[in-house]
Amino acid sequence: MRGMENLSDALVHRPGSKSSLRKFDADETHGFDKPEAVERLRKNVDRLSLLQYRLYAEAKRSVLVVLQGIDAAGKDGVIRHVISGLNPQGVTVTPFKVPEGEERRHDYLWRVHKAVPEWGHLGIFNRSHYEEVLVVRVHNLVPKKVWRARYQEIDDFERMLSGNNVVIVKFLLMISKEEQAERFRERIEDKTKNWKFSEQDIKEREYWDEYLAAFDDMLEKCSTDWAPWYVIPANRKWFRNVAVSEILCNTLENMKLEYPKAVSDLSKITFE
């Protein structure tokens, strides 16, 4: 059985290193085959459940999971298959769509900070503050000097969270343009998935290269020791799921979570 450390090391984007996603192989499985990955995922989900229980009991730290990816990369699928075994009492999932109302009348990190999980909880961001250097950049929603400043602002924000006992792990799910087209076709042909498709999805495909460039800069500027990015080959959903689960297990186990000590001597407790 392959060790978690090997897969985590293989998929992390080293802080300060360059990125070239044009050359990225979204079909890569790092030696796993599907039956092995499915079994490993099953075991990892059980392990995550135990680790989350410790996190909840300790209540001194939290874990923030950031999911980013091009349309149809599988963010919802990761939440459904990897997070499925966790106790919902200690898990929050926050989707970040286009800012509306009150959100638009604050700085771009305001709504994000509000959603950061409290100690003892695991929080998942389905998209995140990184939209401010992705879609905002690609569609020129703000001047270049504004979005360029956000890389450092985000690094500083995440450093502050890390210093306040929030462990951050970020996943960029990468699929090929061909795989995206196949998933869009499936959404069109399957009536149970029609609701997931929008004509805007097709328009966004025209910006594929621009998104790759934006992702490259995001990785280069915002993968840090305190909040690393992991780039997940996601063409094969079974590998995507096992890779994310391995890294999450590794992250939580490295935290060396401990159950709190009893507040009194339980050996003296008796019942009538």
- Residue 266 pLDDT greater than 80, yes or no: no
Q: Is residue 263 part of a domain?
A: no
* Backbone φ and ψ of 236, nearest 5°: -95, 110
- Residue 264 pLDDT greater than 90, yes or no: no
Q: What is the pLDDT of residue 251?
A: 97
| pLDDT tens-place string over residues 121-169 | 999 999 999 999 999 999 999 999 999 999 999 999 999 999 999 999 9
Task: Determine the Cα–Cα distance for residues 127 and 92; give it in Å rounded to an integer.
Answer: 14
Q: Is residue 265 part of a domain?
A: no
Q: Say which DSSP state 260 is in.
A: P
Query: Closest by alpha carbon to 214, among 74, 21, 76, 23?
Result: 21
Q: Is residue 232 part of a domain?
A: yes
Task: Report the predicted TM-score, pTM, of the whole model to 2 decimal places.
Answer: 0.94
Q: What is the pLDDT of residue 234?
A: 98
Q: Is residue 272 part of a domain?
A: no
| pLDDT tens-place string over residues 63-83 | 999 999 999 999 999 999 999
Q: Is residue 269 part of a domain?
A: no
Q: Is residue 91 part of a domain?
A: yes
Query: Closest by alpha carbon to 184, among 72, 109, 78, 20?
Result: 72
Q: What is the pLDDT of residue 206?
A: 95
Within 10 Å of residue 144's Cβ, how many Cβ atoms?
9
Q: What is the pLDDT of residue 5?
A: 44
Q: Tell me how many domains the chain contains.
A: 1
Q: What is the pLDDT of residue 54?
A: 97
| pLDDT tens-place string over residues 91-118 | 999 999 999 999 999 999 999 999 999 9
Q: What is the pLDDT of residue 244?
A: 98
Q: Is residue 169 part of a domain?
A: yes
| pLDDT tens-place string over residues 1-19 | 444 448 899 999 999 999 9
Q: What is the pLDDT of residue 150?
A: 98
Within 10 Å of residue 134's Cβ, how many Cβ atoms?
20
Q: Is residue 264 part of a domain?
A: no
- Residue 238 pLDDT greater than 60, yes or no: yes
Which domain does 96 fall in, by range? Answer: 4-256
Q: What is the pLDDT of residue 20?
A: 96
| pLDDT tens-place string over residues 244-261 | 999 999 999 999 999 998
| pLDDT tens-place string over residues 181-209 | 999 999 999 889 898 888 888 999 999 99
Query: Closest by alpha carbon to 169, among 90, 224, 97?
Result: 224
Q: Residue 64 belongs to a domain with what CATH number?
A: 3.40.50.300
